[in-house]
Amino acid sequence: MLELKKVAVTGNLFSGKSTVCKFLKDIGAFVLSADQIVDDLLKNPQVIQSLADIFGKSCIDPHGLVDKVKLAQKVFDHPGRLLQLEGLLHPLVLEEIQKKYREESRSSTSPLFVVEVPLLFEVRWDYFFDHCVLVIADPKVRMNRYKNEGKSTEDFLHRQARQISSQEAIDFADTVIENSTSLSDLKEKVTTLFRTLTN
């Protein structure tokens, strides 16, 4: 049996990472989202307790769940606190990715194990993957996509500041997909990528 190929998909805010992953899933890849793993972890009682211990009970709502808005307010303008949060969550996320990979390696009929990782190069997880795909798009296009979701330019710039630039990321990527035009164009590029990786 051939080893299941590990593929990471990353890119700046609203570059189209999730759409690329959706197309890959539609074609036949197994797809996982690092952000979804984080969401699941934030429902784990042990993680909730750890967050309360580190950041205070004010980040836990009356139902005993994590108040994501309050947690974000506590950490994102405070680099030290953000590092604490990442220090707690990142090892657990990577552990879950590795666990899922082992499971899929034993049972999957998919030729590719794909993980969407927004901060792939920032957290230096690229070593775990056989192939790293970077999705890029014109900054104005990305900002318009973000604003079309009803969010502010200020918030876009704030969140973007946490990521390395596309130009920096290109140096680390194995494949770069440009996504500033149409969905049909993007789908064609993803189909070509899938064929390349599975041949």
Q: Is the pLDDT of residue 23 over 60?
A: yes
Average pLDDT value for residue range 89-107: 95
**SS3 per residue for the chain:** CCCCEEEEEEECCCCCHHHHHHHHHHHCCEEEEHHHHHHHHCCCHHHHHHHHHHHCHHHECCCCCECHHHHHHHHCCCHHHHHHHHHHHHHHHHHHHHHHHHHHHHHCCCCEEEEECCCCCCCCCHHHCCEEEEEECCHHHHHHHHHCCCCCHHHHHHHHCCCCCHHHHHCCCCEEEECCCCHHHHHHHHHHHHHHHHC
In the chain, what percentage of residues exceed pLDDT 90? 74
pLDDT band at 1 (very low <50, low <70, confident <90, very high): very low
Give the domain CATH number at 191.
3.40.50.300
Interval 135-175: pLDDT, tens: 999 988 898 888 888 878 877 887 788 788 888 999 999 99
Q: Looking at residues 69-96, what average pLDDT do you find?
A: 91
How many domains, the chain? 1
Q: Domain range holding 15? A: 5-198
| The pLDDT value given to residue 32 | 97
* Residue 103 pLDDT greater than 60, yes or no: yes
pLDDT bracket for residue 2 (50, 70, 90): low
